Amino acid sequence: MSYKTEYVKSIETPELFWSNAAKDLDWFEQPKEILGRDENGLSRWFIGGKLNTSHLCLDRHIELGRGDRIAVYYDSPVTNTKKSFTYLALRDLTARFAGGLARLGVGKGDRVVIYMPMVPEAVIAMLACARLGAIHSVVFGGFAANELAVRIDDAKPKVIVSASCGIEFDRVIKYKPLLDRAIERAAHKPDHCVILPRPQAEAEMTPGRDLTWDETLAGAEPADCVPVEATDPLYILYTSGTTGRPKGIVRDNGGHAAALKYSMSAIYGVGPGDVFWAASDVGWVVGHSYIVYGPLLAGCSTILFEGKPVRTPDAGTFWRVMSEYRVKSFFTAPTAFRAVKKEDPEGSFISRYDLSNLKYVFLAGERLDPPTYHWLSDLLDRPVIDHWWQTETGWPVAANPAGLGLAPIRPGSASLPMPGFEVKVLDQDGNELPPGRYGDIAIKTPLPPGCLPTLYQDDERFRDAYLSRYPGFYLTGDGGFADQDGYLFIMGRTDDVINVSGHRLSTGEIEELIAKHPAVAECAVIGMADELRGQVPAGFVVLKDGAELPPEQIERELIAMVREEIGAFACFKQAAVVDRLPKTRSGKILRGVMRKMADGDRFTAPSTIDDMSTLEEIKDAMRCNHIGRAFVERV
C-alpha cells in the first residue's frame, strides 16, 4: 500500500479507514459507532467498543503463540545489569502486580501516579494499571518535589508507585525524599505508596502507608483484564502549559491502541518479532507510545535502556545496544546524537559494532538541524528520518513512513503529513498560506485516533488552548511552512513553551517561580538557541528597590530555586539582573525581541516600544559574564 493511497483514504473516508485499522485489535465488544461525539460535544473514536490495552499488549500475543518471544530487553549500563522478559513472563508479573494493586483498593477509573526510573517495574506498573482499568499518570523521575505535588493534586491518585532512587550517569538521585516532600506539600494524600528498593539507596518507609514492591506482590492473586470502554482513559500525562499550570493530556484506550499499532508498521516499518528501540524515558510521551505500548501492541521486542548516549560508558553506547539486540528501527532525539557527535566527531566507535540489522533511524522531540542530519546520514548510510509530533497527538503528525514506501528525504523537513492528519499552515486570520509562507501549523478536526480527546477534567481549557483560535482546527502551537510538494518544515514554538533536549518547559512557569524570590520585582524568561540541547532558558530580573543582596548572589539563588522546584533537567543556569525590561507602551514585555537578540537573529523593535534604551541595557546584560559565554558569542 502506497503512502499517497493511504493518506487520501484516511482524509476522504476517515471512518472507513480507521474502522479497517481497528479490525486488527482484539475487541471484547465491537464499537457501535466509529466516530461520534460525547455528551460535551467533543469528538470520540470507537464509541461503545470494549477492550483492554494490557490484554492487547500481552495476553493476545500469548494466545497467538508468541509467549516465548522476548517482549522487553532491559539494559542498564549505570548498574551493569541486563535482563530480558518474554511475553509470558511479563504477563505473569503484570497480572500479579495488578493483583497487588487491587488488594490496595485500586480499581477501574482510579488513578495511580508512577514516579520511577527506567526499570522493568515501571513498565509492569503501567501495564498493571491498564489491566485493572485504572488510569496511570507517569511523572518523569527528574521532576522536583513541587512539580510532583502539583500532579498529585490534579490526578488525586489512590496509590503512588516509586523507587528508592534513580541514577544519572554515576550520580544517585534519591527519589523517596522527593516523594515524601511532594506528598507533604500536596493537599491530596494517597492511601498507599509502593516503593521499589534499589541497592544504590535505602528508602525510609512511612508505616501504614508505604509498602515495598515485594510486599505488594506477596500473596497477591493474578488479576484478569478488566474490559473498559474504548473512550475510557488509559493514562494522563502532564505537559507544560503557557500559564505555568501543567495540562493533563488524556489518552483513551481504543483510539490509542488502533493508532499506535498502525503506526508501528506504517511509519516505523516493524512488526511481530522485530526489535524496536526508542531511547527515551517512560516519563515522557515517547516512552509511553514507543517504549511501552506501541512495540508491545505490535508484538515487537522493545528495549528499556537505563543510561545515556555518552559516558555510560562512552559515545559508542548507542551502537553497542543496536548491535547487541539486533535493532531494526531506532528512535531518539537529535540532542542525543549531538552529544555523541561532540564526543566522537569522526564516528570512530561505530566501526566496532555490527549494525547490519539496523534499517531506519528516526529522530523527533525537537527540530533535526541539517548539520546533525548530514553527519548521521553520512556515518550510517541508511535512512535518517526526522519526524514531528507532540505529547498531545501521541503519535507522529508528520514523518517519512518506512512501511508505506519512503519518499525522498529533505534535510530540515519533518517530511509529509501522516494518514489521518490534515495539516494546514494558517495566517493570523485563519487563511491557508501558500507554499513557503511561514504561519501557524494547525490540524483539521476531528483529530485522528490516538490524539488527546480532552484535558483531564477540564474540557473548557482544552477548547480554549487548542480549538478556539482557529474554528475547525487544532492549534499545535508550532510554527513553520510547507513547500510546494507538501513537505512540512517545523521551525519552533509560537507560544511560551521551550524545548530543552526534547523536554517541553513553560517559560511562564519558570517566571512564576523566580517571581517568588523576595528581592525580585519583575522578570522575563526566554528560550535561547543552544547547540547541544536545542534551547535553554535564560532569565532577566528587575530587583525591588532597596534589595540588599548583591546581584551575583541573587542570580545564584534563582538558579538554585529552579533546580530545586522544577529539576536539574531544566538547565536553568543563566540569569542576569537588569534595571528594566523592554516593553511596549501597553506594558507587554518584548520576549520575542529578547529571544532574537540572544540568538543573534535580525530583529525590528516595534514602534510601540516604551524606551529604546532598555534594549541597549538588555544587550549589555547579554554581553556580561553573568549570562554566560553563549550570549557573549552571539551578541
Q: Which sequence spans correspond to the domains of the chain?
A: 88-226, 498-634
What does DSSP assign to residue 85? Answer: E
pLDDT of residue 391: 94
Packing angle between helix 14-22 and helix 3-12, nearest 10 degrees?
Answer: 110
Residue range 275-288: mean pLDDT, rounded: 96
Q: Do domains 88-226 and 498-634 have the same CATH topology?
A: no
What does DSSP assign to residue 345? Answer: T
Asked if 503 and 523 count as a contact pair (C-beta separation under 8 A), the reply is no
CB proximity list for 566: less than 8 A, separation 6 or greater: 143, 144, 146, 147, 505, 509, 510, 513, 572
> Where residue 495 falls among pLDDT bands split at 50, 70, 90?
low
pLDDT (tens digit, 9 = 90+) per residue, 398-423? 999 999 999 999 998 999 999 999 99
Q: Which fold has domain 88-226?
A: Rossmann fold (3.40.50)
Rg (CA), the chain: 24
In the three-class reduction of DSSP (H, G, I as helix; E, B as strand; rest coil), residue 441 is classed as: strand
| 353-366 as b/e: b if 16+ CB within 10 A | bebeebbbbbbbbb
pLDDT (tens digit, 9 = 90+) per residue, 437-477? 888 999 999 999 999 999 999 999 999 999 999 999 999 99
pLDDT of residue 633: 40
User: What CATH number labels 498-634?
Assistant: 3.30.300.30
Concatenated DSSP letters of 467-534: ISSSTTEEEEEEEEEE-TT--EEEEEESSSEEEETTEEEEHHHHHHHHTTSTTEEEEEEEEEEETTTE
What does DSSP assign to residue 76? Answer: E
Listed residue (606, 572, 574, 394) closest to 498, CA to CA: 572
Polymer length of the chain: 635
Residue range 137-159: mean pLDDT, rounded: 94
More confident: 630 or 210: 210
Listed residue (283, 487, 251) closest to 385, CA to CA: 487
> Where residue 609 falls among pLDDT bands split at 50, 70, 90?
low
- Return d(Cα 175, Cα 164) in angstroms, integer: 5
| 195-215 as b/e: b if 16+ CB within 10 A | bbbbeebebebeeeebbebee
In the three-class reduction of DSSP (H, G, I as helix; E, B as strand; rest coil), residue 277 is classed as: strand
Residue range 232-260: mean pLDDT, rounded: 89
If you average pLDDT over every residue of the chain, what do you get?
A: 91
pLDDT of residue 303: 98
Give the predicted TM-score (pTM) of the model: 0.84
pLDDT (tens digit, 9 = 90+) per residue, 360-412? 999 998 778 788 899 999 999 999 999 999 999 999 999 999 999 999 999 98
- Return d(Cα 337, Cα 360) in angstroms, integer: 15
- Return d(Cα 308, Cα 341) in angstroms, integer: 14
Q: What angle do CA 237, 207, 137 make, to 5 degrees?
A: 5
pLDDT of residue 190: 98
pLDDT of residue 457: 95
- Return d(Cα 633, Cα 28) in angstroms, integer: 61
Strands 210-212 and 192-196: parallel
pLDDT (tens digit, 9 = 90+) per residue, 551-603? 889 989 999 998 888 888 888 888 888 888 887 554 557 777 777 777 776 66
Q: Scanning the structure block, which residue is given the C-alpha cell 529552579?
A: 562
Backbone torsions φ then ψ of 391, nearest 5 degrees:
-55, -40
